[in-house]
Amino acid sequence: MGSEDDVPGTNARRQQFERGEIAWSPTQDMVLSVFRLRNEARFDWSWPHVTYDYFRYDIRYNGAGQGQARDQIRFEKPDVDEGCPVWHRPNPHIWARLQGFGEYAFVAKGCHEGGPFGRDRCPEGFAVPVRLQFGAVDNEPDPPFQVIGAIMQRWHELGASAGPLGRPIEGEMPLGDAVSQRFERGSVVTLPHYGAGAVVAAYQRGSSIEVNWGGGDALSPGQFEVAVFRDNELEGRHTVGDSPLDMPWARNAGSGLFRLEDPAKEGSYQFQVTWIGAAGPPSPRVLVDYRFVSHDAPLGSPARDSSPGHAYASHWTRVSDVARHYAYTRPLRPSPLTEKEGGENESVQFIAHLRAIAEDPNFCVTGELPSRLLFAVALRLLTPGQTGTHYDMLGACRPGDYDMAIKGYMTLLYRYRHILNDDDRDFILTTLIGEDLQGPHPPSIEWYTASFIDFPLPETENHILMIESSRYLVNQLRHDKSPDPRFDNLANSADGGLTGWLLRHLQRLAQHDFLEFNARAYQRLALHAIVNLYEFARDEPVRTAAQIILDYIAVKFAISSNRQRRVGPFRRVPQSYNSAEPGHNELLLNGHGDQVAGFGLMWLGPTDIEEQPYTLFPRMFEMHALIMGLSTYRPPTALYELGTSAGYRAAPSGDPRPVQHSFYHGRRPLLAASFDVADGGVEIYYRSPSFLISAGGMFLNSGYGFDELMGSEAQVAYPQPTTLMPSRGDWCEANGSEHRLTFGDLIRFEPVLYDGAHEVGLDVNTGVHMGFACGPNLRIPDIWLRLTHTSPDGPWFILNLDADLDDVGRLGFYVAAYLAPPTDYPVVGTTAGGGALYTEPQNLGLLYAVEAASMDFEAFRSKTLEANRLPEKFDLDGVYVFHAGDDNTFTFTFGQQRGKYDARVINMSGHAVVDDEDLSSLPLVEGPYLHAPGGHDGLVLVRYPRCGAPLWLDYRDALHPQRMDEDACDGPDGPLADRAQALIDVATDLINASRNAAHVDNRADAVRWAMLATETLRGVQPPPSIAARYLALFADTLHTLVVRLSGAGRGAETREPGAEAVPVYIAAAAAPGAASEDEVQRAERVMLQASLAQTLSIRMADNWFAAEAVLAQQACVDILKELRPPAESLHAYLHLFANALLTLVARLVCDGRPADAAGPGRQAVDAYRREAALPGADAANIADVLMTLALWLTRAGLSADAQLASQAADEIRPQG
């Protein structure tokens, strides 16, 4: 706001800025700065070269000190990161909340301990002050009701109409000797007893209510009681000190702040403040009409239906709604509470806000400052940390986990580079990332030394992926600025550099799945790292490798889940297993649950109990939605066809067959610093239209070593329960609330996890094959017995789950279950008294589930009971045969003496389930939709019901992964045609919404809807049968986005969509039309695309993008050159073609390319002559246009061509 000036009477210099001031005070060797965000100020000063024991600072209000100089401020002290000391040394600083118009000056000085009589030794005194002017908001429009006096001052302090109070909705109202005024989101009352400026303000801020008070000369520091009323009923009383929750007041004179977090109910809230011990009266009640803020993200445009096509097509509207809700409910509020080491939460919060800024540069959370401003501040409050595993156990700790933040910073630096300025990017790369994360792969990061054993331990899989994927991406950015060979990922080490290392590392995942397979928390972290490589890597093999891993995980999730719910085995943090205990009982919204389910929910969209699109996205998975949903990655078609109920049921026969997929992860390479080869995991999923049976897996070592030493901290796998999950079964309660099936509602086999179970092979839950399951501790919840009115028939339970069950309806299948006690309990050790220690499974059992459509229930029941003569007790080592009601037979055992990889289901109807009864003979995956034909060589084939041709995920060659034939099934009735039509439907709706918003001058929403329509259509290759319509709509959508951006004053952003539209117009014109299209209709369609391209050229020229205007106009000309119009269309064609060539001449001249205008100029003359020769041509008008062409050619310095145009005009013009 001004130049750098000398400070009179000192050797200091000072400069004012829009939001504060910076000063250099040489005597104190300090740079000081202060800036203001509404009524909150931050004051910083640099570390002097002299080492001081502490600092003192003061705030002077209109020249008067406010007493802060009494306090010592010490900054160099350890913070605590989950119990571990972490030394941060930020610049000394303080935050202060301002109250009262006027000048605030901030000063600081360094001091030593131990002066005379214990006094300070501050030899250089206070540095030159830096100042803020705090007054009314500039350019505030006149409010609908007058705001005056102390209420006006508090309103402006909080940001006036843009602040949390909003605009006034009524004038001042008398309250005895006080006055009150209501605003959109709160109210303010005066406190005349405590001075002229004293007020209490209350307002809704996000999902909370904030109350602040003070400003009067008669107020003094103390404690306060805040009484909270809702609808005039007392809800509670709260005692608060005179300091607010997160920063002190600059003027500490009876000021205070109280925050009511997340009120449970809507209503009229009133707050009354009493000064404890003061003689004055309590404040009048101040009113806030609180409106509930949904914790879940409202989906303004959910999918039209639950089909695969609309699940895909609604992606961008879904993730946009989630991002905006995430930003609204997690606002950027810089304060002392946000000054800390960056983490995953902060980086994802930034991602949400930057996405909202990309849609609207002026985006702000209601009542807050613009997010673009707050992002710049909040980013700089973060500090760096240490990457790798964090631990705190056995009396030792190691800080870590900072790579969780860095993976998010990669998204900021790449996807939102156009929003960040140079300072933002430099701060992230230099300060938050630094120089440790660059160069070639350092083998030393593959282990760390744990101080409690003084021995190296392998670094965990997810940390290695986060660290090395980020290193690769940082190298790309550094190599852009420096030719330093350390940053060349292809050559910064032997064997192909960091690129080669990454490719070999990722190949292991394609061969053996993740070591931390299905890991709860860790799969989210690992997949974020991989999706970063897919979106931002510049080496094609790395992008392909990342896509192969993501595709495999996506399709695996589809075949192993039921409506995004999955209860599969996993390795690491075994405490996160599913159970009926609180916190573990939810099947989907489980804080300890499946991380990939959050990604699946983003890809497929949430559904209600009727399996229709749901209007809320659960808060628990919003982070997952932003990580995966905002990326450019889209799963293969199989995910949508198999992951949605509608898609799975759309098999060619109309009745999909049940399918089973079995996984064995195989023997993976030994980890660095580990002596233990990781056990290969086993997963078995049997999916039928009406239910899913999931095997629970088995005990697996961690692969990291030292499992016995780690004890409960060991990152092993324990078996999950084997579960039978109905596809339906949720219902509405009488009060209208939904009851969603919980884990405790599932029929299941709970594993034996007592001491010694591992030693005797009872911690194995792999007894699943083709609808049959067996194992220990069979649980049949009472709900199913009650709903089906089933009583035990001896040891048998035969359930008709296709009956019309109360509240639930028909579930579509039958279940036969048999349970019996074991003959004996295996001895696994001795008690302290020398007695035998047993494992005690409560029962051993089996079940068989079958679709109701396959047979009558009575036949199923009678045949099951008649065909089986099972024992009253099961021998743990016995081998038994079950005869199913549909004539299948299953040979099985519970396998006490069998190895954990020995099959528990041995034989089905005379055929061995696996070779040699050994589950470790399985490939990575075996099944009809996901299959690894070469075992563990890196090749996986993907299929789905409506497509026989597979997608090849071929990672057999570590350095040359290939992905082939994704779009093999693109017929007119295939899934890709359905998807393209759904995309057309959704984009059309969005374009209509954009037009409606523009009609009412809502420019921000007009841009947003057009942007979402563009994103919806982008990146899809439509089948030929629908290509012409699709491409024409896509071009029109890009054009509409250009128009909306121009109308919103964002013309500078039109270059990219304008340039993108040009080849789409050309492709739309060249695409084959409908089978019924004749020559005239085709000519009209092609000429329309040319005309639209020409209109786009005009838009680009209006926005001063001359080169892009030329490209669009050239596209118009090229489209018309390829057209051979029928006689009926010739006149319109020549008129359009000639004018297009004239316009191209003008565009080339304006772009500084006059020499290039010669060819189009001569072609235009010829076209105008041809037009003039047609019957009924307007010769006079054509002659006039030719003269205009001559003027442009003259301007281009093409005099001979100009003469040709002029001569043609003379010849064409009618005489007389």
The tokens for 437 are 């994360």
Segment 133-152, tens digit of pLDDT: 999 999 999 999 999 999 99
pLDDT of residue 826 exceeding 90:
no
- How far CA 185 is from CA of 206, 289, 631, 1191, in Å, comes to 10, 7, 36, 62
pLDDT of residue 865 exceeding 70:
yes
The share of the chain scoring above pLDDT 70, in percent, equals 93
pLDDT of residue 831 exceeding 60:
no
Sign of the C-alpha dihedral, residues 604, 605, 606, 609? negative
Once rounded to an integer, what is the mean pLDDT over residues 225-249? 86
pLDDT of residue 81 exceeding 60:
no
pLDDT of residue 787 exceeding 70:
yes
Same fold, 5-134 and 149-293: yes
pLDDT band of residue 500 (cuts 50, 70, 90) is very high
Sorted by sequence, the CB contacts under 8 Å of residue 356 that are 6+ apart come out as: 323, 324, 327, 363, 371
Segment 566-575, tens digit of pLDDT: 999 999 888 8
Segment 951-1000, tens digit of pLDDT: 999 999 999 999 997 666 777 778 888 999 999 999 999 999 999 999 99
pLDDT of residue 652 exceeding 60:
no
Sort 1150 into a burial class: Cβ within 10 Å, 0-12 / 13-18 / 19+.
middle
pLDDT of residue 43 exceeding 90:
yes
What DSSP line would sit under 883-903, residue for residue? E-TTS-EEEEE--TTS-TTB-
Would you state the pLDDT for residue 971?
72
**CA geometry: angle 694, 698, 701, nearest 5 deg:** 140
Would you state the pLDDT for residue 15?
96
Could you tell me which of 66, 21, 36, 20 has the C-alpha nearest to residue 12? Answer: 21
Q: Picking from 436-440, 666-670, 947-951, which range would have the lowest pLDDT averaged per residue?
A: 947-951
Segment 873-909, tens digit of pLDDT: 999 889 999 999 999 999 999 987 788 999 999 999 9
Q: What is the CA radius of gyration of the chain?
A: 36
963 bridge partner residues: 953
Sheet holding 40-45, edge to edge: 5-6, 13-17, 20-25, 30-37, 40-45, 93-97
Domain 5-134, CATH 2.60.40.10 — does that match? Answer: yes
Segment 909-923, tens digit of pLDDT: 999 999 999 999 999
Once rounded to an integer, what is the mean pLDDT over residues 334-358? 93
pLDDT of residue 834 exceeding 60:
no
Which of 3.40.50.10360, 2.60.40.10, 3.40.1710.10, 3.30.110.30 is the CATH number of 149-293? 2.60.40.10
Sort 1017 into a burial class: Cβ within 10 Å, 0-12 / 13-18 / 19+.
buried
Once rounded to an integer, what is the mean pLDDT over residues 1146-1161? 95
pLDDT of residue 1020 exceeding 50:
yes
Segment 595-620, tens digit of pLDDT: 999 999 999 999 887 788 999 999 99
pLDDT of residue 712 exceeding 80:
no
Answer with the residue of higher pLDDT: 970 or 9. Answer: 9
Answer with the residue of higher pLDDT: 590 or 525. Answer: 525
| 186 three-state secondary structure | strand
The share of the chain scoring above pLDDT 90, in percent, equals 75
pLDDT of residue 832 exceeding 60:
no
848 bridge partner residues: 772, 816
Would you state the pLDDT for residue 301?
83
How many other C-beta atoms lie within 10 A of the C-beta of residue 1073? 15
Half-sphere exposure of 438 (CA within 13 A, CB side): 18
Would you state the pLDDT for residue 196?
84
Once rounded to an integer, what is the mean pLDDT over residues 265-289? 91
Segment 621-647, tens digit of pLDDT: 999 999 999 999 999 999 999 998 776
Would you state the pLDDT for residue 184?
97
Length of the chain as a residue count: 1216
Going from N- to C-terminal start, the domains of the chain cover: 5-134, 149-293, 682-921, 930-964, 970-1124, 1129-1216
Once rounded to an integer, what is the mean pLDDT over residues 342-355? 97
Sign of the C-alpha dihedral, residues 912, 917, 922, 925? positive
Q: What is the pTM of this model?
A: 0.94
pLDDT of residue 63 exceeding 90:
yes
Would you state the pLDDT for residue 311?
95
Answer with the residue of higher pLDDT: 418 or 78. Answer: 418
CA end-to-end span of the chain: 68
Segment 747-776, tens digit of pLDDT: 999 988 755 566 666 689 999 999 999 999
pLDDT band of residue 837 (cuts 50, 70, 90) is very low
pLDDT of residue 1033 exceeding 90:
yes
- H or E stretch covering 1158: helix 1158-1172
Segment 1045-1070, tens digit of pLDDT: 999 999 999 999 999 999 999 999 99
pLDDT of residue 833 exceeding 60:
no
pLDDT band of residue 649 (cuts 50, 70, 90) is low
Would you state the pLDDT for residue 24?
97
Give the integer Cα–Cα distance in Å for 490 and 228.
Answer: 64
Mean pLDDT across the chain = 91
Would you state the pLDDT for residue 644?
85
pLDDT of residue 125 exceeding 90:
yes
